Structure 1
Amino acid sequence: MRITLVNPNTSRAMTAKIAAVAREVAGPDVEIRAVCSNDGPAAVECHVDEAFAAVAVVDLIERDLRDGGSDAYVIACFGDPGLDAARELVGVPVIGIAEAAMHVAALSGRSFAVVTTLSRTLGRARDLLARYGMTQACVSLSGSGIGVLELEDTTSEVYETIARLCEVAVQQREADVIVLGCAGMADLCQTLSLRVGVPVVDGVAAAVGLATAMVRMGVGTSKRDEYAPASRRGMPPVAADDLVGSAYR
């Protein structure tokens, strides 16, 4: 089985970090492939970045399809950019890390809080909460003021800022679970969970776990209507067999 992590920003360091986290949760028979954009935004921190990130997601998946394709795709950016477009391109599972983290958090407790990067991204997080039916479960959203690229190599100061926000969410907002709102926070789960005393969910690990399960179950992306095959910028039409993908590679 091959799962491709699609990082729509251009950070090689962050791509390597999320790949390492993904390999920790993937089974020994799961190949993790992580790719990032050459032409996308350096970091996805605003609506303009999000628009370019969606294009990068489509481009990276198309490139992977020309290389034989994967059994599932994970969009490793908390805004889940290009998620719907990606699902039009393939019949295998495509999972966004915000989507995965929120669903896993809802399974782990009655309520959760999101701790993310810049406050300007909170509007997008609210949009996703509504889309995924999680508005009622989310008791707080906190922007840390930390830029995405500051998470390439997490310093003690950055960690302390995130940890304090997690503590506030648990102690003052009574969150049962913490959701980390950036792929660059993926390596902080264990230490944060020990510190705050509740489960801390990273979307990269959650998405890889869900994608693996869906592949083993033989459940892919429905092609009935909205996600029916789309034209792919001059590429030949996708055959039905290619859209379905292998149930297990």
Structure 2
Amino acid sequence: MPDRILVINPNSSAACTRGIAEALAPLPRLADLALEVTCLPEGPPAIASWEDWHAVALPLCRLVERTPAAAYVIACVSDPGLEAVRAVTPRPVLGMFRCAVAVAITRAERFGIIGFVAASQARQRRALQAMGLEARLAAWEPVDLPMEVLTDPEAPRERIAATARRLAAGGAEAIILGCTGLAGHAALAEEASGLPVIEPCRAAGAMALLAAMGH
């Protein structure tokens, strides 16, 4: 049994990768199972388009094939390459978006999503359709900021708070952070909206620990 869960950021942003690791840090650890966070050096700076989404599938497969783990997490909130990676390993493979949605529907009938860029909406709606849950989406709002701004502790705060408030006004009863670059801003979104906020890194990390324990 491999001694790690491999969490793969499919973009090449060091700041985003650090944010993912920081979001996972509070999770309980099993004595014999580490949560190891890495990035895809050949990946784009962010998964912003369908082209980016498709381009990382094969590199993700190759990385998983050469890196044994008890479970794998694709650390992007549009789940790129999820089906392809599942085809190359018998181990559990989790997508952060699907994990976050699974948590959101335990908290509320209708949820909102703070998206990365406008182009992300089609990918996340496609996943919701596959899950049979698109009708539970109350509202979707992008922050439309570059990854280097989104991961800054201060620069995106006003935009994120305003977006969270609009989602609450649009009927959301819980909010999903729709990009790993938002991981450090969960408390801000919760304070601004007054709603439960689902942070996908932590949601997927917790589910990966459970999945790995079952194998």
The answer as to whether partners of 1:36 and 1:60 remain within 8 angstroms in 2 is no
Residue number in structure 1 paired with 2:86: 87
Is the counterpart of residue 202 in structure 1 residue 199 in structure 2?
yes
SS at match of 2:38: strand
Residue number in structure 2 paired with 1:39: 42
> Out of 152, 164, 167, which is 2:162 matched to?
164
SS at match of 2:134: coil
The answer as to whether partners of 1:4 and 1:73 remain within 8 angstroms in 2 is yes
> Post-superposition shift, 1:154?
3.3
> Post-superposition shift, 1:28?
5.1
Is the counterpart of residue 15 in structure 1 residue 12 in structure 2?
no
Identity of aligned residues (%): 29
Is the counterpart of residue 173 in structure 1 residue 170 in structure 2?
yes
Deviates more, 1:72-81 or 1:47-56: 47-56
CA distance in 2, matches of 1:124, 1:28: 33
- Give the TM-score taking structure 2 as reference length: 0.92
Change (3 A) 1:122 1:190: same
Is the counterpart of residue 75 in structure 1 residue 74 in structure 2?
yes
CA distance in 2, matches of 1:26, 1:13: 23
> Post-superposition shift, 1:25?
1.8
Residue number in structure 1 paired with 2:132: 133
CA distance in 2, matches of 1:42, 1:88: 26
CA distance in 2, matches of 1:162, 1:89: 37
Residue number in structure 1 paired with 2:150: 151
State the number of aligned residues. Answer: 212
Across the aligned residues of Structure 1 and Structure 2, the Cα RMSD in angstroms comes to 1.5
Residue number in structure 1 paired with 2:182: 185
Is the counterpart of residue 50 in structure 1 residue 53 in structure 2?
yes
Residue number in structure 2 paired with 1:4: 6
Q: What residue ranges of structure 1 are gaps of 5+ in the alignment? A: 219-246
Q: What residue ranges of structure 2 are gaps of 5+ in the alignment? A: none
Q: Deviations along 1:97-144, whole A, 9 cap, x unmatched? A: 111111100111111001111112211111111112220111111111
Structure 1 runs (4+) deviating above 6 angstroms are none
> Post-superposition shift, 1:5?
0.6
CA distance in 2, matches of 1:23, 1:59: 27
Residue number in structure 1 paired with 2:118: 119
- Give the TM-score taking structure 1 as reference length: 0.80
